[in-house]
Structure 1
Amino acid sequence: MRTWYHSWRAAIRIARRDALRSKGRSFLVLAMIALPILGVSAADLTLRSAELTTEQTMERQLGRADARLSDARNGGAPIHQSPDGLDFAPVGKSEDEPWPEGRTDLRTTLPAPAKFLEDSTGSGRMRTSHGLLNAGIRELDAADPMAAGIMTPVSGRFPRTPDEVAATTHFLEAGGLSVGSKLVARGLDREYTITGSYELPDSLKSDQVNALPGALLDPLDKALTAGGLPGTEKSTTYLVTMPGGFTWNMVKEINTKGVTVLSRAVQLSPPADADVPLYQQQGWGRDYERSDSAQAAVLAAAGTIVGLAMLEICLLAGPAFAVGARRSRRQLGLVGANGGDRRHIRAVVLAGGLVIGFASAVVGTVLGLVLTLALRPLLEDYIGARFGSFDIRPLELLGIGVLAVVTGLLAAVVPAVTASRQTVLASLTGRRGIRRSSRVLPVLGLGAVALGVAIALYGSLLSKQFVVVAGGSALAELGVVAMTPALVGLFGRAGRRLPLSPRLALRDAVRNRGRTAPAVAAVLAAVAGTVAVATYSTSRDAEAEATYEAQLPHGAVSMVVGEGGGREVLTARAAVQRHLPVDVRADVDRIAVGRAGCPLHSYGTEGCGSYEVVVPQANQCPLWSLPGGQDPAEKFSTAQLRALAADWRCKERGGTVFTEGGVVVADEKLLKVLAVDDDGAAKALADGKAVSFDRRNLDRSGTVAIRLITDTDAADRAREEGTTVPGTVTSFPAYQAPADADSYGVAMILPPAAAEASGLTTVPLGAYYSTDRLPDSEQRQRLEGELDETGARIALHIEEGYTSDNSIVLLALAVFAGLITIGAAGIATGLAQADAEADLKTLAAVGAPPRVRRTLSGFQCGVIAAMGVVLGSAAGVLPAIGLRLTEHRRQLEWYEQTLDSGWGAQVTPPVATIAVPWGTLAALLVAVPLGAAVLAALVTRSRGALARREAA
C-alpha cells in the first residue's frame, strides 16, 4: 500500500538528486536562504551570551560580597526602597514637604558581625604622554578577595601602597602609557606608579584609575578646591559580607537609617510586590516597567522585520525554483507519464524547497555558531562588555532553522503550482505553451496603491498616529509589488528604438515576467525602504540645520576666562593667536562690581556685586513684568497671549550670553569678527558711543542705562516686591544696530573709552577671533594643552557650523540598497542565462559576434536593476513625506499650546521641512544600475559551450 509517506520520500530523493546535479543553482538558492539564517542565529547567540544572569550581574557589581550599602543622602531619615535599590523615597513624606538632605556615616549603620570594604569613586584629569585625559578614579582594594570579579586583572598587579595605582587597558592605550609608567593627576605634584592593568567586564571602554582608599581622591580634591577648581565629587559605598547573607528583612531594617542596599540574596530571590513597602506608597507602583503594549509593539516590529526578510528571500529564491522546474520539465513529465498526478509533481518541486531549506538551516546555523565563537573578542569589544558565557539555546536555534525550511517551502510554492499545471506532452516535448499574465493581479495592486495612499494621507493630515502612515505606505508598496509584472510590460515598450543587445535584454525580461518580476520586486522593496529612510533622515537633517543656532560666524573663535580679575586672560589671548590661524582678534572686557577678583557670574558671592541693563518701562514685555511670578495665562486671554508672542518687546535674542545682559567692553574689531557689516555701528564705537543690538535697551532719547548693584540681597527683595532696584545708574549715548544684524548673544558693545570716562571698573574677559580657515585637530590639541597649563577655567568655542551625523547613515543605506540591487539583478541575470541558453546558442549559430553574450548579460542585469530602482524610488518617497507631515502636525500642536501658555515668544514656529536626498537617489538611479551592468558583463564569458545535436 502506497501512502503519502512513500510519495514524499520519492519526491525528496528526486529533489536531492536534482540539487546535486545542478550545483550552481542549488548553491545560489542555499546562499540566499542561509545568509539571513546565519545573521539571525549569530545575533541570537550574541544577544543571549551578552545577557547576564542575575548571579553574573551580582558578581560584577558586588564581587564576592553579600551587599553594597549606599547613602541616600537624606540625613538618615527612614526610607523605603525597591528590591534593586535604585528607587527609594522617604517614609511618610507628602508631595508638598521638602526632600530631607544630609549625609549618613555608613560605618555606623553596619550590623555587628559584618565585614566591609570601602569603595569610593570620583573623577579627575590625568596627565598622559599626549596631554590631559579625563578619567574615573576608583579607590578600592581590588586585591581583597571580597572584590574579586569587579575588576578583571590583565597584566601586572593591583596597587599595594598609597603611591601605586592600576589603570584600565583602555586608559593606558588612550594615554600612551604602560605598566611601570608614572602617572600624575592635574592639580597634584605627586607621582604614582602604574603597577598593573585591568578591565571592567561591563565597560571595556572605560578610562579609570584604581588606587587604595584615601590615596588619590582626597589629596586631589583638596588640591583642586584650594586652587579654586571643581573638586572630584567623591562618592563612597561599602561592600559588606554577612553570615547567611543580606535578607529582605535586613534590608528593610537598615532602610530605617537612611541607607539603600543592593543585596545578592534579594536579587536572587526577590520579594513579592505586596512585601515591598515602596510599592504601597502612592505614585510608586510598577508603572516604570515596560507595559504589555510596549512589549507588543516590540514583538510586532520584530515580526514585521522577519516577515519582510522572508518576503525578500522568497522573491529572490522563487524564480530560481521556477527556472529549476523548467529545466527539469522532462523529468517532471516522466513522473506524469508514469502515473503521477499533479500533487506528485507539486511534491517534487516543493521537496526541492524542503531540501534546500533544510540544508540552508544546517549550514546557516553552524556557520553562525562558528562565526560568533570566532568573533567573540571583536563582538565583546564592539558592545563594550564581556559575555557572561557562550550561551546556546537549542530551541531558539531550532526555531531559526525551521524558519529557513518554511522560507524554502514558500519560495517553491508558486513554481510548484505552475509546473503541475503543464500537460505531460508539453513537459516531454519542451514546449512552454502560451502563458498569459494575470489581469486580476494588476487591478488588485492598483486598488491597494490607491487605498494605501489614501490611508497614508489620512494619517499625515488628520491622524496623530505614525502607525497609520506606516500601514498605508506598506499597503501601497505591496500594491506596487503586485503591479510589477504589468509595469515590467510597460517598460518593454521602450525597447523599440534601442540597439540589438539592450532590445533583446528588455524583451527577454518582458517575455519572462515570472523570472523578472520577483527580482524587480525584491529590488523595489530594498530601494523603497532605503529611499524612505534617506528622505526622512535628510528632511530631519534639513530641519535641524534650519533651526541650528550658531554661537559665532563660521570659523570664528571665542575664548572666555571665568577666573576673577582676569589674571590669565592675556596669556590665553596670546596662546590662541599663536596656535590658530587668526585673522582678526577682538579683545573683550567685562564690567566688574565689588571687590577685586570676583569671578564671572559671581551673583550672590560675598563682596561681589552685579549690574543690569535698565530697560525703559515702555519697552518692557508685559509677560515678564507680572508681580509675584504670576502665570501669564491667568492674567491675559488666549488672544492677548498670541498677540504678545508677536510683540517685539517679548522676542528673545538668540546666541550665547557670557555676561549679565550680554554687555561687553570692546572696540570696532568685534564688529568685524561678528560679521556685522554696518558703518554706522563702527563709527559710533569710534566716537565713544555704545552700540545696542536689542532695541528694548534704548529709551526715546537714544541712550542706554546700566545699573550697578552692590547689595544683591536688597535687589532681590526689590524685585519680589515690585519696587525699584537700588543701585547707581549710568547712562551712555547709544546707536541702535539694524534689526537684522546678528550679534550672536552680544546685546551691547560699550567702547573702552566710554566705560573709562563713566568710572566703570572693567576686567579682561577674553577675546573673539576670526580665522582664515578652520583649525585642524593638531592645532586644537596643542592649544588645549597650553591653555590647561594656565590652571584657569577657560571656555573655548570654535564655530564649525551645523554638522550632520546622517552622512554615514545615508552612505550605509545606499551601500545596502546597492548590494541588494546588484545581488537581485545578478541572480535574475544568472537565471536568465540558464533559462535562455538555447536562445544564446541560436544567436551564435546565426553569426552573432561573441561579445553579444557579454553585452546581453550586462544589459539584462542593468535593465532589472533600473526597473527596480525607479519603482522603488517612487514608492519610498510616500512614507517619508507622510511621517514628516505627521511630525509637523504634532510640533504645530505643541507650539499652539506654548502660545496659549504665554511662552510662545521664546519658541520658533515649526516649519514642515521635506528634503530630497539627491545624492542617495543619484547613486541609486545611475550608479547602481550602471555598476550592476558592468559587473555582470565582466563576469560573463563571451563564448558558451558547444551544443550537442539531439538524437532524432
Structure 2
Amino acid sequence: MSTAVQERPIALGSGHGGMAARRAVARWAWRLFRREWRQQAIVLALLALAVAATTVGLAVAANAPSAAGVFGTADHLVSLDGGDPRLAAGLATLRGSFGTVDVIEHGNKVPLPGSANGFDLRAQDPAGPYGAVMLHLDAGRWPQGPAEVALTRRVADALGLRLGGVWHRNDRDRTVVGLVENPLDLRDAFALVAPGQAGAPSRVDVLIRATDAQYRAKPRPDGASTQLRPGGEAGAASVLVLVLGAIGLLFVGLLAVAGFTVMAQRRLRALGMLGAVGAGHRHIRLVLLANGAVVGGAGALAGAAAGAVGWIGLGPLLEEPLGHRIDRFDLPWAAVLVAVLLAIVAAVAAAWAAARAAARIPVVAALSARPAPPRPAHRFAALGAVLLAAGLAALVLAQQTKVPYILGGVLVTAVALLLLAPAGIATLGRLARHAPLASRLALRDLARYRSRSGAALAAIALAAGIAAVVTLTAAVTVAKAAAPTGGNLPADQAVIWLSDGGMAGPVPAVEGPQLDTLRTRAAAIAAAVPDAALVPLVGATDPAWPLDRGGRPVAALAKPHEPGPGQPGGVVYSSRDMLGLFVATPELLAHYGIDPATIHADTDLLTPRASIDGYDVVPGRNSGWRPVLQQVPLPAYTSLPNALITEHGVAALHLSSQPVGWLLDAPAALTATQIDRAEQSAAAGGLSIESRPTGRDQAELATRATAAGIALALAVLAMTVGLIRSETARDLRTLTAAGARRRTRRALTAATAGSLALMGAVIGTAGAYLAVLAWYHAELHWLAHPPLLNLAAILAGLPLAAYLGGWLLTGREPRTIARQPLE
C-alpha cells in the first residue's frame, strides 16, 4: 500500500528571528544601498530636485507680499479724517478702548515728478509699538523737530536731493537728515517727519492690536473706517506649494517604483536565499523598505540642503520683484520638514510595492529569479475609475473658486491616472498578438513585468496630462481673447489709468498742471496708434472719505454680502458684482452716441439695466440709494462704463468728480506691438495701460508646456527603457545567440518606448480633457476650438519621437554572450 504525499509550496520567508534578525537585515539593506547607489542615482537626483524646488517655492510663498507693509504688527487699522473737528476725541476714544495704539499722521499727497502718483508726507514714531517694523534707516539719522525730514531713495532721486540737502515746499524748508524705507513695502514712497510735524493732517491712521471680538466689543469713534489685517495668505500659498510638491513627488515616486522593482528582481536570488535560511515575510519587506527609506532620506535631506542654499543666494534677487526685504535665513522650517517627510514617504511607498511583491514569491521561484505573475489589472482600473469620477466631481463643485475642492480634485485625479496605468499595460499585452515578432516580444515583456511598466506608464501619463492641461486652458484664454464680445475690453480699445489698479483702488487726486502733464502723456500714447481717439474718463468719489495714499476710491454700486470668517463685522462687498460709477461727461456721452437733450432732468443714473435693487453705493454713507434710472445702450465689458451717474446724481449723493483715466479708441484691433509700446510709454509716465488680452503669452506658454511635457516624458522613457533592457539582458543575449539581427534588437527597444509613449499620451490627454471639461462645465463653448497642433504633438509626436529614439540609440550587439552579472 502506498501513500501519496503532497508537497506544500514553501513561501518566501516563514521565520521570525526577533530584533537581531531585523538588525541584520537592516544592515544588509544599508550595505546594499552603499554598493548599488549608482543604480539608484536617478531616483536620488529626482527626489533631491523635487524637495529643493519645493523648499524654494515654500520660501517664496512665505515671503510673498502681504499687508504687513500697512499694518506692521497690528491687527486693525482705523482711519480718521484729519479735518474732522472730532479728531482729538476720536484718538482719545481709541486710546481709552485699546490702551496702546500707534498713531501715523498723513499730510496731503505731494506731487512726484514723472509720476501720476505722488508721495506721502508722513509723521510717524520710528520706535512705535506696531509700526516700527515699517521703517528702516538706510543712511543718516531719524528726523527731529520741525525743520528736518527723511526721504525714501525714490523720492530723493525724483526731487534731486541727497543727505544735507534742503527740501523746499509751501514756503517751508526742511533739511534732509536721513534716507529711509519701508522694508515691508519697497514701493512705498514717502517723506518722514517727526511725530506732530506733518502740519494739518489729511488722514490719521491708528494701528491697534486686538482680536476681532475684542475690537467689536470696544467703543470706537463715529465716522472711522476700519481695515482688518487679512490672514492666511502665506498659509494658503504654502499649502498650494506643498500640493504641487506632492504632485511632483508622486511623479518621482512612480519612477522610484520602477527602479525599486528592477532592483528587487535583480536581487531576487539573494532574497530567496534569505527566505531559505529562515527570513520571514516582514524581513524580506524590511530589506527593500529600509533601502527605500535610506534613498528617500538621502534624497530629501540633500534636496532640502540644496534648496536652502539656493534660497540664500536667490533671496536678494527677489526683493525688488516681491517688493520687500527678505530675511534669507527665515525659512518656513515646519513646511520644509513636511516636504522632507513627504519625500521619504514617497520613497518608502514606492519601495513598498516592490517589497510586497518580492515577499510573496515562493523560494524556488525566487532562487530561479522567476518574476511574479502580474496581478489582475481590472481591480486597479475599477478603483481608478471611482477616484477619477470623484476627482472630476470635486472640480465641478469647486466652481473655479473653492480652494479645498480644487486641491482635492487635482490630487485625486492624479492618483486615478496611477491606478489606470496597469489597465493600459494589460491592453498592450492583449494587442501583442497582432504585432510583428519583435514588437510582440516587447509588448508581452511589458505585460509580464506589469508592476514596473505600470509605474513608468503612470509617470509618462502624468507628464503628458500636465502638458495637455496647460495647453487646453491656454486655448480657452486664447478663445476668450478672440471672442468679439465679453471680457474686460474690446480688441480695438484700451484704457489709460491714473492708478495701477484702475478703479479697484485709490485713484490719485490730480489737478491743475499735474493733470495737464498727464493728459499730454496720454495724448502721446494715443498718437502712436494711427487715427486713435482719446476720451477722458471721470469717476465719482466721496470727498468725505479719508485720503488713502493721496487718493480716494471711486464710488461704485455693489451688492452687500454677509462677512465670512476672519472678516470684520457688518457687510462685505465683492468685486465680482461691482459697477464703477463713471460721470456722464459730454465727451463720454458723445462717444456712446447719447444725446444730452434726451436725458431727463431728474435722472440719477444712466444704465442698460432695468433695476439696481439690492445695490449700495460704496464707499460712502449712501446704503439703500434709490436713484431714478434711465435706460441707455452701453457696452457690456467689465472695464468700460456700465453705469453713468449724472450731475443730478452726483449732487444728490454729495459726491465729486475726479479724473480716473482716458479711453483709447482705435479704428482697428490693437496689435501686440502697439500694446507693448503703449505699456512702456505709460510706465515711463507714471500711468498704466489695460487692454484686452491677446492670448499671445498663453499660446507661447502652451507651446513651451507641450515641449516640456514631451521632453519630460522622453526622459522617463529613457530611464524606463534602460531599466527594462538591463533587466532583460539575459533574454537579449539569448536572442543574439539564436541569430537575432541588429534590426530585431532595435525593434525591441523602439516598440517598448513607442508603445509606452502612445499609451501614456492617450491616458494623460484623456484625463486632462476630462479635468478641463469638469473645470469649464458651465462654459463649455470655450472648448469648441481645441489646440490641435499641440494635442497632435502630444498624441503623435511623443510616440514617434520615442520610437525613433529607441531605434536610433540601441541595437549594439552584447560584447559577450555567456557573461552573467554578479549577484
TM-score range, shorter chain: 0.5 to 0.7
1:165 and 1:929, CA in 2 relative to 1: closer, same or farther beyond 3 A? Answer: farther
DSSP-derived class of the 1:261 partner: strand
**2:283 paired with 1:340:** no
Distance in 2 (CA, whole Å) between partners of 1:923 and 1:323 is 31
CA displacement at 1:170 relative to structure 2 = 11
Tell me if the contact between 1:318 and 1:414 (Cα under 8 Å) persists in the aligned partners: yes
Q: Which residue does the alignment assign to 1:491?
A: 428
Q: Which residue does the alignment assign to 2:36?
A: 22
Deviates most, 506-515 or 302-311: 302-311
Q: Which residue does the alignment assign to 2:293?
A: 354
**2:503 paired with 1:520:** no
**2:596 paired with 1:612:** yes
**Match for 2:753 among 858, 861, 885?**
861
Aligned partner of 2:791: which letter? L
Q: Which residue does the alignment assign to 2:486?
A: 548
Distance in 2 (CA, whole Å) between partners of 1:713 and 1:602 is 14
Q: Which residue does the alignment assign to 1:420?
A: 359
Q: Which residue does the alignment assign to 2:189?
A: 208
1:558 and 1:334, CA in 2 relative to 1: closer, same or farther beyond 3 A? Answer: closer
Tell me if the contact between 1:449 and 1:477 (Cα under 8 Å) persists in the aligned partners: no
**Match for 1:71 among 43, 56, 80?**
80
Distance in 1 (CA, whole Å) between partners of 2:155 and 2:443 is 57
Tell me if the contact between 1:426 and 1:432 (Cα under 8 Å) persists in the aligned partners: yes
What do the CA deviations read for 1:37-92 (whole angstroms, capped 9, x no partner)?
333444455656779999x998x679xxxx9996355541765999999x99xxxx
**Match for 2:726 among 834, 838, 843?**
834
Tell me if the contact between 1:313 and 1:411 (Cα under 8 Å) persists in the aligned partners: no
DSSP-derived class of the 1:921 partner: helix
CA displacement at 1:490 relative to structure 2 = 2.2
1:327 and 1:579, CA in 2 relative to 1: closer, same or farther beyond 3 A? Answer: same
Aligned partner of 1:519: which letter? A
Tell me if the contact between 2:494 and 2:663 (Cα under 8 Å) persists in the aligned partners: no
What do the CA deviations read for 1:626-668 (whole angstroms, capped 9, x no partner)?
9xx99699xxxxxxxxxxxxxxx96734279999999xxxxxx
Distance in 2 (CA, whole Å) between partners of 1:650 and 1:839 is 82
Matches within 5 A, 1:259-408: 261-262=206-207, 267=209, 270=210, 273=213, 277-278=217-218, 308=247, 311-388=250-327, 390-391=329-330, 398-408=337-347
Q: Which residue does the alignment assign to 1:580?
A: 528
Tell me if the contact between 1:274 and 1:280 (Cα under 8 Å) persists in the aligned partners: no
CA displacement at 1:871 relative to structure 2 = 0.7
Tell me if the contact between 1:441 and 1:483 (Cα under 8 Å) persists in the aligned partners: no
Q: Which residue does the alignment assign to 2:379?
A: 441
CA displacement at 1:367 relative to structure 2 = 2.4
Aligned partner of 1:353: which letter? G
**2:635 paired with 1:654:** yes
**Match for 2:49 among 4, 29, 35?**
35
DSSP-derived class of the 2:731 partner: helix
Tell me if the contact between 2:312 and 2:328 (Cα under 8 Å) persists in the aligned partners: no
Distance in 2 (CA, whole Å) between partners of 1:510 and 1:827 is 18
Sequence identity (%): 22
Aligned partner of 1:124: which letter? P
Distance in 2 (CA, whole Å) between partners of 1:394 and 1:796 is 39
Q: Which residue does the alignment assign to 2:591?
A: none
Deviates most, 342-351 or 39-48: 39-48
Distance in 2 (CA, whole Å) between partners of 1:803 and 1:425 is 63
Aligned partner of 2:284: which letter? I
Matches within 5 A, 1:585-734: 601=585, 612-614=596-598, 652-654=633-635
Deviates most, 533-542 or 511-520: 533-542
Tell me if the contact between 2:16 and 2:280 (Cα under 8 Å) persists in the aligned partners: no
TM-score by length of 1: 0.57
Tell me if the contact between 1:442 and 1:486 (Cα under 8 Å) persists in the aligned partners: yes
What do the CA deviations read for 1:398-430 (whole angstroms, capped 9, x no partner)?
554443333222111221122122232232233
Structure 1: which 5+ runs fail to align? 89-109, 219-232, 238-259, 590-598, 604-609, 634-648, 663-708, 718-764, 789-794, 889-909
What do the CA deviations read for 1:349-383 (whole angstroms, capped 9, x no partner)?
22221222232233233223322323232344453
Tell me if the contact between 1:51 and 1:388 (Cα under 8 Å) persists in the aligned partners: no
Distance in 1 (CA, whole Å) between partners of 2:642 and 2:356 is 80
Aligned partner of 1:346: which letter? R
Distance in 2 (CA, whole Å) between partners of 1:152 and 1:622 is 49
1:525 and 1:933, CA in 2 relative to 1: closer, same or farther beyond 3 A? Answer: same
Distance in 2 (CA, whole Å) between partners of 1:459 and 1:772 is 37
Distance in 1 (CA, whole Å) between partners of 2:705 and 2:527 is 39
CA displacement at 1:10 relative to structure 2 = 1.5
CA displacement at 1:777 relative to structure 2 = 6.9
**2:113 paired with 1:126:** yes
CA RMSD of aligned residues (A): 6.7
DSSP-derived class of the 2:119 partner: strand
CA displacement at 1:864 relative to structure 2 = 2.0
Distance in 1 (CA, whole Å) between partners of 2:432 and 2:684 is 69
CA displacement at 1:325 relative to structure 2 = 0.7
Tell me if the contact between 1:554 and 1:801 (Cα under 8 Å) persists in the aligned partners: no
The alignment of Structure 1 onto Structure 2 pairs a total of residues equal to 706
Distance in 1 (CA, whole Å) between partners of 2:459 and 2:754 is 15
Distance in 2 (CA, whole Å) between partners of 1:873 and 1:922 is 10
Aligned partner of 1:33: which letter? L
Aligned partner of 1:71: which letter? L
1:822 and 1:202, CA in 2 relative to 1: closer, same or farther beyond 3 A? Answer: farther
Distance in 1 (CA, whole Å) between partners of 2:596 and 2:22 is 91
CA displacement at 1:136 relative to structure 2 = 3.2
Matches within 5 A, 1:733-882: 770=667, 774=671, 776=674, 780=678, 802-803=694-695, 806-807=698-699, 810=702, 813-814=705-706, 817-818=709-710, 820-846=712-738, 857=749, 859-882=751-774
Structure 2: which 5+ runs fail to align? 1-14, 498-509, 537-582, 588-593, 616-629, 653-661
Tell me if the contact between 2:478 and 2:695 (Cα under 8 Å) persists in the aligned partners: no
Higher relative contact order (CA 8 A, sep 6+): 2
What do the CA deviations read for 1:527-564 (whole angstroms, capped 9, x no partner)?
445544654564466356534368677389999xx999
Aligned partner of 1:613: which letter? A
DSSP-derived class of the 2:361 partner: coil
CA displacement at 1:323 relative to structure 2 = 0.6
Q: Which residue does the alignment assign to 1:104?
A: none
Deviates most, 871-880 or 401-410: 401-410
DSSP-derived class of the 1:413 partner: helix
Distance in 2 (CA, whole Å) between partners of 1:558 and 1:299 is 35
Tell me if the contact between 1:456 and 1:472 (Cα under 8 Å) persists in the aligned partners: yes
Tell me if the contact between 1:452 and 1:471 (Cα under 8 Å) persists in the aligned partners: no
Q: Which residue does the alignment assign to 1:696?
A: none
DSSP-derived class of the 2:585 partner: coil
Tell me if the contact between 1:321 and 1:415 (Cα under 8 Å) persists in the aligned partners: yes
Tell me if the contact between 1:613 and 1:661 (Cα under 8 Å) persists in the aligned partners: no
Q: Which residue does the alignment assign to 2:448?
A: 511
Distance in 1 (CA, whole Å) between partners of 2:493 and 2:215 is 61
1:396 and 1:922, CA in 2 relative to 1: closer, same or farther beyond 3 A? Answer: same
1:485 and 1:183, CA in 2 relative to 1: closer, same or farther beyond 3 A? Answer: farther
DSSP-derived class of the 2:109 partner: strand
1:653 and 1:155, CA in 2 relative to 1: closer, same or farther beyond 3 A? Answer: same
DSSP-derived class of the 1:869 partner: helix
What do the CA deviations read for 1:270-322 (whole angstroms, capped 9, x no partner)?
5794586349999x9x9989999x99999997886676555434322112111
DSSP-derived class of the 1:124 partner: coil
TM-score by length of 2: 0.64
DSSP-derived class of the 1:340 partner: coil
Tell me if the contact between 1:121 and 1:139 (Cα under 8 Å) persists in the aligned partners: no
